Structure 1
Amino acid sequence: MHSPSGVELAGLASLVVAVPAVALLANSGRKHTGAARRAHLLLAAGAAITTAAALAGMLSDLFVVHAPVRLASAVAVAMALGTLTLLTGTLVLPGAAESTGAALRHLLDGLVVAAALWFVGWVLVSRPTRLLGDHTPARCLSMLLPAAVAVIALGLTAVLAMHAHRPRHVTVRVAAGVSLVALAATALSGGICRSWPVVVLLGAVGLPAGLVVVARAVKIADRPVEVVGDVTQRNTGYAFVPMTALVGAFGYHLAVGGVLDVFGFLGVSLEGFAVVARQYLALADVKAHTLRLRHREAHFRELAHTDPLTGLANRRGLVRALRDPAARERPRVLVGLDLDGFKNVNDMRGHDVGDAVLTEVGRRLSAHLRDGDVAARLGGDEFAVLMWATPEEAMAAGKRLLAVLSEPYETEEGSVFLSASVGVADSPAPGDTGELMRDADLALRYAKQRGKNRVERYQKRYDELLRRHSVLENELRHAIEREQLRLVFQPVVALPSMRPVGAEALLRWHHPELGAVRPDEFIPVAEESGLIAMIGSWVLDQACRQLAQWLAGGHDVWVSVNMSPKELHAADYAAQVAEVLQRYRVPPQRLVLEVTEHAVATDMDELIRRLCELRSTGVRIALDDFGAGYSSLGQLRNLPVDILKIDHALVAEPESRTGTAAPLVDVVVRLGHRLGLEVLAEGIGTPAQRAVVEEAGCRLGQGSLFGWGVPAEHLQAQLETVRSSGARPVPVQRSRPVAPPSAPARSQVIMLGPGMRQVRALLPTDPAFAVEDGSRMGDQDVRSVDAPREMGQS
Structure 2
Amino acid sequence: MQFPPGMVAVAVLCGLVAAAAAALSAVGARRSAGPHRQAYALLAAASGVALVTLLVGAAVALATAGHAGHTPDGHTGWAGVVAIGTATSGLLFSAGLLRLPGVAATAAATVRLALDGLVMATAFWFVGWVVFSEPTRLLGDATPVACVPILLATVSAALTAGLALIVAFRAPPPRGRAAWVGVGATAVTCGGLGIATGLCQAGPGMALAGAGVLAAGLVAAASAARRPDAADRPPPDLIRRDGAYAFVPMFAMAASAMYHLLQDGRFDALGIVAGSVEGFALVTRQYLTLHDVRGYARRLAEREAHFRELAHTDQLTGLANRRGLLQALHRCAEAGAPCVLLGLDLDGFKHVNDMRGHDVGDAVLAEVGERLRANLRPGDVAARLGGDEFAVLMHGQPADADRVAERLLGVLGRAYDQPEGPVFLSVSIGVAGWTGEPDVELLLRHADLALRYAKQRGKNRIERYDAAYDQLLRRRTTLEHELRGAIERDELRLVFQPVASLPSVRPVGAEALLRWRHPVLGKVGPDEFIPLAEECGMIAKLGAWVLHQACHQLSRWLADGHDVWVSVNVSPRELHAPEYVVQVAEALRAHRVPPQRLVLEVTEHAVATDLDELIRRLTALRLTGVRIALDDFGAGYSSLGQLRRLPIDILKIDHGLVAEHEPVRPVGRDGPAFAPMVDIVMRLGHQLGLEVIAEGVTTPTELAAVVAAGCRFGQGALFGWGVPAEHLEAMLEAATSPGARPAPTPAPAGPPAAPPPRRLPTLPAPRPSGPGSAQVEQGS
Q: TM class, shorter-chain normalised?
A: 0.7 to 0.9
Letter of the structure 1 residue corresponding to residue 763 of structure 2: P
Letter of the structure 2 residue corresponding to residue 722 of structure 1: A
| 2:764 corresponding residue in structure 1 | 732
Segment of structure 1 superposing worse, 381-390 or 450-459: 381-390
Is 1:419 paired with 2:426?
yes
Letter of the structure 2 residue corresponding to residue 470 of structure 1: T
| 1:36 corresponding residue in structure 2 | 36
Q: Structure 1 residues 163, 468: CA separation in 2 closer, same or farther (over 3 Å shift)?
A: same
What is the distance in 1 between the residues matched to 2:712 and 2:28? 103
Is 1:83 paired with 2:90?
yes
Q: Structure 1 residues 340, 179: CA separation in 2 closer, same or farther (over 3 Å shift)?
A: same
What is the distance in 1 between the residues matched to 2:466 and 2:621? 44
**Counterpart selection for 1:227 from 233, 243, 247:** 233
| 2:652 corresponding residue in structure 1 | 645
Q: Structure 1 residues 598, 402: CA separation in 2 closer, same or farther (over 3 Å shift)?
A: farther
What is the distance in 1 between the residues matched to 2:774 and 2:531? 46
What is the distance in 2 between the residues matched to 1:184 and 1:609? 100
| 1:490 corresponding residue in structure 2 | 497
Alignment of 1:54-203 (within 5 A): 67-126=74-133, 129-140=136-147, 142-203=149-210
Letter of the structure 1 residue corresponding to residue 313 of structure 2: T
Q: SS in structure 2 opposite 1:680? A: strand
What is the distance in 2 between the residues matched to 1:120 and 1:550? 120
| 1:524 corresponding residue in structure 2 | 531
1:41, CA displacement in angstroms?
4.2
| Runs of 5+ consecutive residues of structure 2 not aligned to the other structure | 65-69, 667-672, 741-757
Alignment of 1:408-487 (within 5 A): 408-411=415-418, 414-429=421-436, 431-487=438-494
Conserved in 2, the CA contact under 8 Å of 1:35 and 1:92?
no
TM-score (norm 1): 0.81
Q: Structure 1 residues 261, 233: CA separation in 2 closer, same or farther (over 3 Å shift)?
A: closer
Question: What's the C-alpha RMSD, in Å, of the aligned pairs?
Answer: 4.1
Conserved in 1, the CA contact under 8 Å of 2:314 and 2:321?
yes
Q: Structure 1 residues 515, 306: CA separation in 2 closer, same or farther (over 3 Å shift)?
A: same
Q: Deviations over 1:244-288 (max 9, x none)?
A: 982796399469846464566666665555555444444433332
Conserved in 2, the CA contact under 8 Å of 1:157 and 1:176?
yes
**Counterpart selection for 1:594 from 597, 601, 604:** 601
| 1:250 corresponding residue in structure 2 | 256
Q: Structure 1 residues 610, 334: CA separation in 2 closer, same or farther (over 3 Å shift)?
A: farther
Segment of structure 1 superposing worse, 339-348 or 249-258: 249-258
Q: Deviations over 1:197-236 (max 9, x none)?
A: 2332233344455445445544555x68423135268444
Q: Deviations over 1:89-116 (max 9, x none)?
A: 3213332112122222323333454344
Which has the greater radius of gyration?
2
| Runs of 5+ consecutive residues of structure 1 not aligned to the other structure | 745-763, 765-794
Letter of the structure 1 residue corresponding to residue 714 of structure 2: G
Letter of the structure 2 residue corresponding to residue 622 of structure 1: A
Q: Structure 1 residues 735, 201: CA separation in 2 closer, same or farther (over 3 Å shift)?
A: farther
What is the distance in 1 between the residues matched to 2:698 and 2:708? 16
What is the distance in 1 between the residues matched to 2:712 and 2:199? 132
1:433, CA displacement in angstroms?
1.7
What is the distance in 2 between the residues matched to 1:309 and 1:723? 73
1:712, CA displacement in angstroms?
1.6
1:316, CA displacement in angstroms?
1.0
Q: Deviations over 1:532-552 (max 9, x none)?
A: 444334333332222222122
Letter of the structure 1 residue corresponding to residue 39 of structure 2: A
| 2:547 corresponding residue in structure 1 | 540
| 1:713 corresponding residue in structure 2 | 726
Segment of structure 1 superposing worse, 309-318 or 730-739: 730-739
Segment of structure 1 superposing worse, 80-89 or 314-323: 80-89
What is the distance in 2 between the residues matched to 1:591 and 1:668? 24
How many residue pairs get aligned? The number is 743
What is the distance in 2 between the residues matched to 1:69 and 1:658? 144
Q: Structure 1 residues 471, 418: CA separation in 2 closer, same or farther (over 3 Å shift)?
A: same
Q: Structure 1 residues 270, 646: CA separation in 2 closer, same or farther (over 3 Å shift)?
A: farther
Identity %: 55
**Counterpart selection for 2:713 from 688, 700, 708:** 700
TM-score (norm 2): 0.82
1:304, CA displacement in angstroms?
1.5
Alignment of 1:240-389 (within 5 A): 242-243=248-249, 246=252, 250=256, 253=259, 257=263, 259=265, 261-262=267-268, 274-275=281-282, 277-325=284-332, 328-389=335-396
Letter of the structure 2 residue corresponding to residue 584 of structure 1: H
What is the distance in 2 between the residues matched to 1:656 and 1:290? 89
Q: Deviations over 1:468-521 (max 9, x none)?
A: 323333443444444433222112233444332322222223344433332222
Q: Structure 1 residues 11, 476: CA separation in 2 closer, same or farther (over 3 Å shift)?
A: same
1:322, CA displacement in angstroms?
1.5
Q: Structure 1 residues 157, 564: CA separation in 2 closer, same or farther (over 3 Å shift)?
A: farther
Q: SS in structure 2 opposite 1:324? A: helix
What is the distance in 1 between the residues matched to 2:663 and 2:323? 54
Segment of structure 1 superposing worse, 114-123 or 390-399: 114-123
Q: Deviations over 1:45-80 (max 9, x none)?
A: 444544555555666777899743344234324431
Letter of the structure 1 residue corresponding to residue 542 of structure 2: I
Q: Deviations over 1:585-605 (max 9, x none)?
A: 223333333333333443455
Conserved in 2, the CA contact under 8 Å of 1:334 and 1:424?
yes
What is the distance in 1 between the residues matched to 2:709 and 2:238? 91
Letter of the structure 1 residue corresponding to residue 155 of structure 2: A
| 1:558 corresponding residue in structure 2 | 565
What is the distance in 1 between the residues matched to 2:116 and 2:37? 25
What is the distance in 2 between the residues matched to 1:111 and 1:673? 111
Q: Structure 1 residues 483, 662: CA separation in 2 closer, same or farther (over 3 Å shift)?
A: same
